[in-house]
């Protein structure tokens, strides 16, 4: 397989041998791709071509297995500059994509939404709003979307893997069941596609909802980006997270 001049972002890097990196790319047409970038680390001449997160690239990749080789990369625009909480939030998006996407499974809408989310974080939009909208759209793209059209606002619901949302009889307890009226309010807010931030009550609800819905996709392994955020440990320059 050969992929020429494909729009891409770097999601994750890790050292490989002396001067190379293993890189997880989010590409426009092929989704998540993994490649060896030779000679881009250490003191070699090619190390000047750094693999930086939040920098749009055009990449040429080739190989016969899932692990490709990076043959060419060039900047395709200005890097998104992020600091403090927006940076940690973008790292979370990167880790979320690496953990949920399948290799070489195209998700053009995810690529677009990711770029929009980075721009929103750079522009100072409300972080919770940027993250919740991206999570909702990612779930839709992966077949885990939440259909709220036929819900009863007066009832509470929970997730059942095969059936999606099902009515629950017990009283609403945060994280265990979700009121229909809040599910519908959140869905309406997502569809607005504007910059209006989530109200406090809805923001807290949406955070629990998205964490609950993403759990089957993420598995039991804790998110490193969340640990870094809680510890407020600055990431390595140009890297989303390393591991």
Helix intervals (H) in 123-173? 127-141
> Cα dist. 204→117, 118, 164, 172, 189 in Å?
20, 22, 21, 14, 14
Please report which confidence band the pLDDT of residue 239 belongs to, taking 50, 70 and 90 as the band edges: very low
Q: Which long-range contacts (CB under 8 A, 24 or more apart) does 99-103 make?
A: 99/217, 99/218, 99/219, 99/221, 99/223, 100/138, 100/142, 100/214, 100/217, 100/218, 101/26, 101/31, 101/32, 101/142, 102/31, 102/32, 103/31, 103/32, 103/33, 103/34, 103/66
Residue 236 banded pLDDT, cuts 50, 70, 90: low
The CA R_g of the chain, rounded to the nearest whole Å, is 19
Sign of CA dihedral 10, 22, 221, 86: negative
CB 239 within 8 A of CB 11: no
* Pair of tokens at residue 4: 């020429």
> What percent of the chain clears pLDDT 70, i.e. is strictly above it?
88
Angstrom distance (rounded) from CA 217 to CA 215: 5
Task: Average the pLDDT over 57-86 and give the result.
Answer: 91
Question: What are the tens digits of pLDDT across the range 114-165?
Answer: 999 999 999 999 999 999 999 999 999 999 999 999 999 999 999 887 668 8
- Provide the residue ranges of all domains of the chain, joining segments of one domain with +: 2-75, 84-231
Fold of 2-75: OB fold (Dihydrolipoamide Acetyltransferase, E2P) (2.40.50)
Give residue 48's pLDDT: 45
Confidence tier at 19 by pLDDT (50, 70, 90) = confident
Mean pLDDT value across residues 202-229:
88
Average pLDDT over residues 26-45: 84
Residue 175 in this model has a pLDDT that exceeds 90: no
- Which CATH fold topology does 84-231 show? de novo design (two linked rop proteins) (1.20.1440)
φ, ψ for residue 21, nearest 5 deg: -130, 150
Mean pLDDT value of segment 7-13: 95
E strand segments, 17-128:
20-27, 31-37, 57-62, 67-75
Region of poorest pLDDT, from 170-174, 230-234, 239-243? 239-243
| 242 vs 170, residue with greater confidence | 170
What is the reported pTM?
A: 0.88
Q: What is the pLDDT of residues 81-109, one digit of tens each?
A: 999 899 999 999 999 999 999 999 999 99
């Amino acid at each position: 397989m050969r992929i020429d001049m494909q729009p891409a972002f770097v999601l994750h890097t890790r050292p490989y041998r002396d001067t190379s990196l293993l890189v997880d790319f989010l590409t426009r047409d092929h989704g998540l791709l993994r490649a060896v970038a030779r000679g881009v680390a250490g003191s070699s001449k090619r190390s000047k071509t750094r693999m930086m997160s939040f920098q749009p690239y055009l990449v040429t990749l080739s190989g016969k297995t899932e692990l490709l080789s990076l043959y060419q990369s060039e900047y395709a625009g200005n890097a998104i500059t992020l600091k403090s909480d927006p940076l940690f939030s973008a790292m979370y998006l990167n880790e979320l994509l690496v953990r949920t996407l399948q290799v070489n499974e195209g998700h053009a809408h995810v690529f677009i939404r990711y770029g929009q989310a980075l721009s929103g974080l750079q522009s100072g939009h409300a972080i919770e709003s940027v993250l919740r909208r991206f999570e909702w759209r990612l779930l839709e793209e992966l077949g885990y979307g939440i259909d709220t059209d036929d819900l009863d606002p007066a009832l509470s619901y929970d997730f059942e893997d095969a059936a999606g949302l099902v009515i629950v009889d017990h009283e609403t307890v945060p994280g265990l069941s979700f009121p229909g009226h809040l599910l519908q309010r959140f869905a309406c807010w997502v569809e607005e596609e504007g910059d209006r931030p989530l109200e406090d009550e809805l923001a807290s609800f949406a955070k629990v909802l998205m964490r609950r819905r993403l759990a089957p996709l993420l598995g039991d392994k804790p998110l490193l980006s969340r640990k870094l955020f809680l510890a407020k440990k600055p990431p390595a320059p140009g890297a989303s997270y390393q591991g």
